[in-house]
Amino acid sequence: MRGTVPRIPSGCSITGILNRKAKRFSGADVIKSIRLMHDRSNGLGGGFAGYGIYPQYRDHYAFHLLYHKETSQHETEHFLEKSFFIDCSEPIPTRPHPRITDTPILWRYFLRVKPYVVEQFSARQNERRPTGRLADVGYEEKNFVVKQVMEINQKIDGAFVASSGKNMGVFKGVGFPEDIGEFYRVEEYEGYMWTSHGRFPTNTPGWWGGAHPFTILDWSVVHNGEISSYGINRRYLEAFGYHCTLQTDTEVIAYLFDLLHRRQGLSLETTCLALSAPFWKEIDRYPEPRREVVTAIRQVYGSAMLNGPFSLVVGFNGGMIGITDRIKLRPLVCGQKDEVVYLSSEESAIREICPAPDRIWTIRAGEPIIVKLDEGVQP
- How far is Cα 238 from Cα 256, in angstroms, rounded to an integer? 11
HEC per residue, the chain: CCCCCCCCCCCCEEEEEEECCCCCEECHHHHHHHHHCHHHCCCCCEEEEEECCCHHHCCCEEEEEEECCHHHHHHHHHHHHHHEEEEEEEECCCCCCCCCCCCCEEEEEEEEECHHHHHHHHHHHHHCCCCCCCCCHHHHHHHHHHHHHHHHHHHCCCEEEEECCECEEEEEECCCHHHHHHHCCHHHCEECEEEEEECCCCCCCCCHHHCCCEEECCEEEEEEECCCCHHHHHHHHHCCCCCCCCCCCCHHHHHHHHHHHHHCCCCHHHHHHHHCCCCHHHHCCCCCCHHHHHHHHHHHCHHHCCCCCEEEEEEECCEEEEEECCCCCCCCEEEEECCEEEEECCHHHHHCCCCCCCEEEECCCCCCEEEECCCCCCC
- 12, 244, 272, 354: the catalytic one is 12
Residue 244 is among the residues annotated as catalytic for this protein? no
Q: Are 66 and 118 in contact (CB under 8 A)?
A: no
Answer positive or negative: Cα dihedral of 262, 199, 27, 99: negative
Which residues are designated catalytic?
A: 12
